[in-house]
């Protein structure tokens, strides 16, 4: 998938970019390609792979976010998927990108500066640490390639307002992960609201973007430390 095919595919999905947004997406792609030569940003190294396997789900899932809401937090942003893409596409919202690895956080700050994204804050912190400071604060949260839902829910739900939404970008094992996380669904009052399914254009791999809503205040004993969450997921 080259750039022309990428923008054509998005157009078919009713996503329209301004000239500035197209310019920012192209510049962001160039920054990833350049940095990937000296740093392990993403396993997908060719332009075609990055566009199809890293950019598409962020672009498509942005359709599930209400741009009239105030803010969104992206957990484990890595190279900026999907947080940087959301910031480009939804300029009226404020985005916090959490990336615990300092080198990747520095890369995100470089991208923020070069893309002139004024609606982005980048912090080198873990979600369960940040929840102590910004509990029940965000309208939206997102995560891609971070952990299974049984772990993610505890890391993310305490950061969300009641009736806030969590957007999980997942592959074909989504329903298996939901079944594993049944206890967390109950503890945090989670309801799945929307599913967005699509196939990658080249290899036809199945992808799911799942939108969940939080329906009650999170118990203050959550989140536990990451070591506890990982050792004994809910």
pLDDT 10s digits, 8-67: 999 999 999 999 999 999 999 999 999 998 888 888 778 999 999 999 999 999 999 999
pLDDT (tens digit, 0 to 9) for every residue of the chain, 234 residues total?
899 999 999 999 999 999 999 999 999 999 999 999 888 888 877 899 999 999 999 999 999 999 999 999 999 999 999 999 999 999 999 999 999 999 999 999 999 999 999 999 999 999 999 999 999 999 999 999 899 999 999 999 999 999 999 999 999 999 999 999 999 999 999 999 999 999 998 888 999 999 999 999 999 999 999 999 999 998
3-state secondary structure of 164: strand
Q: How many CB atoms are closer than 10 A to CB 106?
A: 15
Nearest alpha carbon to residue 128 among 117, 141, 144: 141
Alpha-carbon distance 157 to 216, whole Å? 10
Alpha-carbon distance 39 to 42, whole Å? 9
pTM > 0.85: yes or no: yes
Peptide bond connecting 158 to the previous residue in cis, omega within 30 degrees of 0: no
Dihedral angle, C-alpha 14, 18, 24, 29, nearest 10 ° = 30
Alpha-carbon distance 137 to 71, whole Å? 9
3-state secondary structure of 209: strand
What are the structural domains, with CATH classification, of the chain? 64-231 (3.40.50.150)
Q: How many CB atoms are closer than 10 A to CB 133?
A: 10
Nearest alpha carbon to residue 194 among 213, 176, 216: 213
């Amino acid at each position: 998938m080259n750039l022309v095919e990428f923008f054509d595919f998005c157009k078919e999905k009713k996503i329209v970019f301004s000239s500035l947004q197209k310019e920012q997406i192209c510049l962001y792609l160039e920054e990833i390609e350049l940095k990937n030569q000296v740093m392990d940003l993403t396993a997908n190294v060719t332009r075609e792979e990055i566009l199809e396997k890293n950019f598409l789900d962020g672009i498509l899932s942005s359709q599930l976010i209400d741009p009239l809401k105030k803010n969104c937090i992206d957990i484990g942003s890595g190279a900026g998927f999907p947080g940087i893409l959301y910031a480009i596409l939804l300029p009226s919202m404020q985005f916090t990108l959490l990336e615990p690895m300092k080198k990747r956080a520095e890369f995100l700050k470089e991208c923020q500066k070069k893309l002139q994204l004024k609606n982005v804050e980048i912090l080198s912190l873990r979600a369960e640490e940040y929840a102590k400071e910004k509990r029940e604060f965000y309208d939206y949260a997102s995560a891609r390639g971070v952990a299974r839902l049984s772990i993610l829910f505890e890391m993310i739900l305490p950061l969300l307002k009641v009736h806030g939404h969590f957007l999980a970008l997942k592959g074909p094992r989504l329903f298996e992960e939901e079944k594993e996380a049944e206890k967390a669904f109950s503890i945090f009052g989670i309801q799945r609201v929307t599913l967005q399914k699509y196939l990658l254009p080249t290899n036809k791999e199945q992808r799911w973007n799942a939108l969940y809503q939080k329906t009650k205040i999170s118990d203050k004993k959550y989140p536990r430390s990451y070591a506890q969450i990982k050792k004994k997921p809910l």
